[in-house]
Amino acid sequence: MKKTSTRLADGRELIYYDLRDDTVRDAVDRRPLDPTVTTSEVRRDVLLGDAVAIASHRQGRTYHPPADECPLCPSQGERLSEIPDSSYDAVVFENRFPSLAGDSGRCEVVCFTSDHNASFADLTEEQARLVLDAWTDRTSELSHLPSVEQVFCFENRGAEIGVTLGHPHGQIYAYPFTTPRTALMLRSVATHKEATGGENLFDAVLERELADERVVLEGEHWVAFVPYAAHWPYEVHLYPKRRVPDLLGLDEDARTEFPKVYLELLRRFDRIFGEGESPTPYIAGWHQAPFGALEEFEGVSRDDFALHLELFTIRRTSGKLKFLAGSESGMNVFINDIRPEAAAERLREVASS
């Protein structure tokens, strides 16, 4: 992998990740851009103990542009985009309309391929490995920023999810706090560790899932399963078999096997609902240990956390979505319409030939 860092016309950082070491990236952003102005701030909810990002400047962000005006495609002639070069393998840049900025963190966009009509599932294993390396590099770089406590690499896919740009891409949020979901996990890990005299909860969960009927696919270094208490109609968790706290902890064997396993998982997701259905909308995100201090989680260190990817769709059956209504949105009590065992069976049925 070759990494080339440059700047866009308004000062934002842009980084090319290339498969070839001899690739030259010297294109200049020729757009007449004004400096980026953000109003991002983080406010704490004292009753719930969580945080909300207030980012009113995002009201003006790009919204469903036609394909020939896509800001994530490479620049061609006088059609200028966020990527100055005429081609790329993978690229990361600071979001022009970030939810988090400055002392409130940082937001980046990750473009998986220059092919506007592709998806992550269409990538080759070599391309998918490049994206994994880019995620890892950005996790490392962002973790050193003084305002960053946790790094979340994720992909929103599909208009049903709320995606406003059709080009295959994801995002990276660098939070200035430990997110509520991660805090819940860490509290559970601390409670289990104390109650069992030191047993790791993630290890116990993985051992149980490996022995159960909800395993979807398994490699030498990775396993994907529908969790026992899945929140979503089709939800899969992907774990490395050797527990590590973050992407930086993966060894070369796990990195080499990941593209094959993950691409197969995404392709199965696209076959869940049968022929003629539009591509399955989904959210896929890496859960990594926070980089900040963990004093509030007594007896727990970063090494007690287990890196894993969570993938789920809001589509519950052909032509129908799972909406978060009263119980889910109002009280955070999910109601799943599909038994996790049935979801796992379906995902095994649609294995590629």
User: For 198, left (φ over 0), alpha (ψ -120 to 50), or beta?
Assistant: left
Tell me the C-alpha distance between 133 and 130, whole Å: 5
Helix 201-210 vs helix 180-195: crossing angle, to nearest 10: 90
Cα–Cα nearest to 158, from 277, 71, 265, 48: 277
As given in the structure block, the two tokens for residue 300 are: 């727990």
User: For 236, left (φ over 0), alpha (ψ -120 to 50), or beta?
Assistant: beta
Segments in 25-107 forming alpha helices (H): none
169 is catalytic: yes
Tell me the C-alpha distance between 140 and 153, whole Å: 12
As given in the structure block, the two tokens for residue 325 are: 């209504």
Strands of 90-94's sheet, edge to edge?
Answer: 2-7, 13-18, 90-94, 106-111, 169-175, 150-157, 282-287, 308-313, 234-240, 222-225, 215-218
| Catalytic residue (one of 57, 144, 167, 169) | 169
As given in the structure block, the two tokens for residue 267 are: 């392709």
Tell me the C-alpha distance between 210 and 215, whole Å: 6
Q: Which 3-state string (H, E, C) describes 246-281?
A: CHHHCCHHHHHHHHHHHHHHHHHHCCCCCCCCCCCC
Write out the E strands in the chain: 2-7, 13-18, 41-45, 50-54, 90-94, 106-111, 150-157, 169-175, 215-218, 222-225, 234-240, 282-287, 308-313, 315-317, 320-321
Annotated active-site positions, please? 169
